[in-house]
């Protein structure tokens, strides 16, 4: 069967459910290609296979609900949860990744949840880490809803419009759109890993400097005092 005929034969309900599920699990903290799923569904909507409105609704609901569940899990599990996940999944939840995400939260506050929706690795941290850091839920919910609507709705609209303009071209080379989306996700992941590695080196340097300072203080405290020699008084 030709790939075009197979795509057109996918039930729309299954597409909506799959988009919501993948994005929801990714937002929950499970590293899945949510962005690629959304772009693929939006390309299908440009060809009339599914509705772009329902694709956007499914993606928005998946993002908001998944992030909210992740927030609850992070609030209950706290930072020990990330330490446990870091031992099991060091490529995604390693100490350097966690340190980078935590710095973003301390720097941007609730808006780290909003901007995290647009960054591959930070997207899986946003909900659980906001809960672990005890961010007030109302602040988290505002940023979560705004981020989900702008990211999911905006991506769907953009890909749909581009797809309609280049519909004939995409019918033959629709896989190129997926490759571009994958490359974008890989690039953002690489940038996050590079920043995480840089942060890890900075922390190591700070720890080494702190240890040297402590050792120097201990050496000074443990060294015997130099005796003072008093010259005898003249007769």
Q: Coil, helix or strand for 93?
A: helix
pLDDT score for 55 = 92
DSSP state of 150: I
pLDDT < 70 regions, the chain: 1-10, 81-98, 121, 166-210, 213, 216, 218-235
pLDDT score for 5 = 47
Handedness of CA 50, 53, 56, 60 (dihedral sign): negative
- Helical H segments across 109-166, by residue range: 111-116, 120-132, 137-148, 154-165
Q: How many CA atoms lie less than 13 Å away from 166 in the CB half-sphere?
A: 13
pLDDT score for 1 = 43
Distance of CA 119 to the CA centre of its chain: 6
CA distances from 220 to 206, 224, 225 (A): 21, 9, 10
- Indicate the helix (H) or strand (E) that contains 13: helix 12-28
pLDDT score for 85 = 63
pLDDT score for 63 = 92
The average confidence (pLDDT) of the chain is: 74
Is residue 92 classed exposed, middle or buried when 0-12, 13-18 and 19+ CB atoms within 10 A define those classes?
middle
What are the tens digits of pLDDT across the range 14-42? 889 888 998 998 888 777 888 888 888 88
Is residue 6 classed exposed, middle or buried when 0-12, 13-18 and 19+ CB atoms within 10 A define those classes?
exposed
pLDDT score for 6 = 47
DSSP state of 152: I
d(CA 115, CA 183): 19
pLDDT score for 53 = 94
Is residue 58 classed exposed, middle or buried when 0-12, 13-18 and 19+ CB atoms within 10 A define those classes?
buried
pLDDT score for 61 = 95
């Amino acid at each position: 069967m030709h790939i075009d005929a197979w795509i057109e034969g996918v039930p729309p309900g299954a597409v909506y459910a799959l988009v919501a599920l993948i994005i929801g699990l990714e937002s929950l903290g499970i590293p899945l290609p949510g962005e690629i799923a959304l772009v693929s569904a939006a390309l299908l909507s440009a060809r009339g296979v599914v509705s772009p409105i329902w694709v956007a609704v499914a993606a928005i609901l998946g993002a908001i609900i998944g992030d909210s569940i992740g927030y609850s899990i992070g609030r209950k599990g706290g930072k020990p949860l990330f330490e446990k996940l870091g031992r099991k999944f060091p490529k995604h939840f390693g100490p350097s990744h966690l340190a980078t995400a935590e710095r973003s939260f301390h720097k941007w506050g609730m808006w780290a949840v909003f901007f995290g929706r647009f960054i591959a690795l930070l997207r899986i941290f946003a909900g659980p880490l906001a809960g672990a850091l005890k961010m007030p839920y109302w602040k988290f919910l505002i940023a979560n809803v705004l981020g989900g609507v702008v990211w999911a709705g905006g991506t769907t609209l953009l890909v749909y419009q581009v797809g309609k303009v280049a519909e004939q071209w995409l019918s033959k080379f629709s896989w190129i759109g997926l490759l571009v989306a994958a490359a974008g996700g890989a690039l953002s992941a690489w940038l996050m890993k590079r920043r995480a590695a840089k942060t890890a080196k900075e922390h190591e340097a700070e720890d080494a400097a702190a240890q040297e300072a402590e050792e120097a203080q201990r050496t000074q405290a443990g060294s015997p005092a130099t005796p003072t020699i008093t010259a005898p008084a003249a007769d």
